[in-house]
Structure 1
Amino acid sequence: MKPKYLLIILFVFGQIFSGYAQKIVEVWRTGPTLKTPESVLFDANSQRIYVANINGAPTDKDGNGFISILNTDGSIQTEKWVEGMNAPKGMAIYNGKLYVSDIDNLIEIDIAKAEITNRYPSAEAIFLNDVAACKNGMIFVSDNRAGRIHLLTNGTLSVWLEGDDYLGTNGLYTENGKLYAGSEVIKEIDIKTKGEKIIQTGCQGIDGLDKDEHGNFVFSNWVGRIFYLKEGNLTKMWDSTAEKLNTADLDYAKGLNLLLVPTFYNNQVVDYRIEQ
């Protein structure tokens, strides 16, 4: 093969694969001032970043947990905005309320009042984790150790789906009448019919699950990996497993086009920009 044709072929292949070579670049970090941050959530309406601080062991009912508020530059606006939780984890916002999972309860916080207004217990819950809210007010909560997805309806938290194939299911995301549930795979679940299909395998244990401004999935593995999923192509953008730096329940701030990642035992939130 002539050298010029080889160069052309290499160029074409380079163009094809460069479309999937996403990487992340750090923008800011809080510094180790938080207390076991497990989850972050950007509120575009208020331009606030909520952080769920376990402040202890993930299963201890010690009353140490609290929610912090960060500014969009990473500075701490309020360290202990709302207290009185045990081990808060996943969060979602609906109709002026912040919903937070807390071991075997779903906590409801009135954002304007900055106070807990309801606690929804579940006798079946073992380890409530991520939370996702639909536009119609349905609030879903994963229970990865029990293999269940719970639903808050009419003031009651009850089991919506369960089974052995839901063991390890953590990250949740809702969109257009679908619930996406992440574990070793990503499942797309029709909310009306509960019909499901697997849209991605080889995910290695999803913690946080979200989409970016292009409609592509970005997700984390708690042990220290961040992935980008575009058109069926999975790119590992980050791996800190060797350093034992966790990447917990991330959030993609669409209004800012930035990726927010809590580092759990490293006690920081790190903000990244995804470069295509």
Structure 2
Amino acid sequence: MRRLAELLLTLIFATAAAAAAPTLLWETKGLALPESVVLDPASDALYVSNIGGEVMRKDGDGFIAKLKPDGTMIEREWVKGLNGPTGLALHGGKLYVADIDQLVEIDVAGWKIVQRYQAKDATFLNDVAAGPDGSIYVDDMPNNTIWRLKDGTFGPWLKDDALNGPNGLVVQGDNLIVAQFGKLPEEGQEAVKGGLVSVSLKDKSITPFANVMSTGHWDGLEPLEPGVYLVTDWAEGALYRIDTKGNAERILDTNQGSADHLYLPETKTVIIPMMIDNALAAYTLK
């Protein structure tokens, strides 16, 4: 009887875990190294950055795709003329795009690039986040630097090795939340994993989240609820639920290359650019 009870408990827990796993809603293929996705409520459209050819290569074949929220393609090359576009952020009718060493401003209504802000000596601008005051933050991952566009002026805002390969960015109140990528292993060197840190927008002080340092190669970062975030691990190919108390729960296994995702709280939908698979995949959270 005891053995039977143990088997029943195991089955119950396994069934509950399976029920809690995110469910695939749809998948759109045929993209070209998609890296980031945002939803524009004004046009009810998804915008997806596509690096195109090689990462960090100025080859002019990067573009922004426009899709419906159900994954239906509207315009594959909605805006062209980019090099290696990655992170995206919307503010005031403009789409801001990280493009290697430039922050590119796109007028959404006009479907065109209206401004390019040069980041001198930047190596790889990655994610972008917009503050409520209209400030635009973008990180240069290899150089542990965060740039800021404010009142038409673009320049380095914070440079600190404690950023440890800053990747995902989210502005929350008076803080900029940063998901760290760390470093992938190189010949003769071990990998350096990252965690989550909070950067004060007032004094630029950096505060690590308890017990979630050196835990992954984090890429996308989206708030789930107060003190809880959905974070993608690009190297492992996974989606995690992480809270500020130090709990990190792996809730979805994907292929390597899970990048800068989007979370829609109204429908509990997470949309993940699968960079290496050249696809965009949507899941519903239980």
**TM-score of the pair, normalised by structure 1:** 0.87
Task: Provide structure 1 residue ranges, at least 5 long, that are not aligned to the other structure.
Answer: none
Deviation at 1:118, TM superposition (A): 0.2
The separation in 2 between residues aligned to 1:196 and 1:26, in whole angstroms, is 36
The residue type paired with residue 251 of structure 2 is: M
Kindly indicate whether the alpha-carbon contact (under 8 Å) linking 1:69 and 1:78 is maintained by their aligned counterparts in 2: yes
Aligned to 1:258: 269
Q: 1:195 aligns with which of 202, 205, 229?
A: 205
The residue type paired with residue 195 of structure 1 is: S
Aligned to 1:221: 233
Say yes or no: does 1:27 pair with 2:25: yes
Describe the superposition over 1:47-73 as per-residue Cα deviations: whole angstroms up to 9, x where unpaired: 211100111111110110100011111
Q: 2:251 aligns with which of 232, 237, 246?
A: 237
The separation in 2 between residues aligned to 1:149 and 1:214, in whole angstroms, is 24
Q: 2:57 aligns with which of 53, 56, 60?
A: 60
Kindly indicate whether the alpha-carbon contact (under 8 Å) linking 1:170 and 1:208 is maintained by their aligned counterparts in 2: yes
Deviation at 1:44, TM superposition (A): 2.6
The separation in 1 between residues aligned to 2:199 and 2:274, in whole angstroms, is 29
Higher RCO (C-alpha 8 Å, min separation 6): 1
SS state of the match for residue 59, structure 1? coil
SS state of the match for residue 72, structure 1? coil
Q: Within 5 Å, which residues of 2 pair with 1:42-121? A: 42-121=39-118
Kindly indicate whether the alpha-carbon contact (under 8 Å) linking 1:22 and 1:228 is maintained by their aligned counterparts in 2: no
Deviation at 1:90, TM superposition (A): 0.1
Q: 1:40 aligns with which of 33, 37, 45?
A: 37
Over 3 Å counting, the alpha-carbon distance change for 1:261 and 1:229 in structure 2 is: same
The separation in 1 between residues aligned to 2:64 and 2:115, in whole angstroms, is 16
Q: 1:123 aligns with which of 113, 120, 125?
A: 120
The residue type paired with residue 21 of structure 2 is: K
Aligned to 2:187: none
Kindly indicate whether the alpha-carbon contact (under 8 Å) linking 2:34 and 2:279 is maintained by their aligned counterparts in 1: yes
SS state of the match for residue 167, structure 2? coil
The separation in 1 between residues aligned to 2:38 and 2:117, in whole angstroms, is 21
Aligned identity (percent) is: 34
Q: 1:185 aligns with which of 162, 183, 195?
A: 195
Say yes or no: does 1:156 pair with 2:153: yes
Say yes or no: does 1:211 pair with 2:208: no
Over 3 Å counting, the alpha-carbon distance change for 1:44 and 1:213 in structure 2 is: farther
Aligned residues: 260
SS state of the match for residue 271, structure 2? strand
Kindly indicate whether the alpha-carbon contact (under 8 Å) linking 2:267 and 2:284 is maintained by their aligned counterparts in 1: no
Question: CA RMSD for the aligned pairs?
Answer: 2.3
The residue type paired with residue 25 of structure 1 is: T
SS state of the match for residue 110, structure 2? coil
Deviation at 1:238, TM superposition (A): 2.1
Deviation at 1:273, TM superposition (A): 1.0
Kindly indicate whether the alpha-carbon contact (under 8 Å) linking 1:168 and 1:205 is maintained by their aligned counterparts in 2: no
Task: Provide structure 2 residue ranges, at least 5 long, that are not aligned to the other structure.
Answer: 181-193
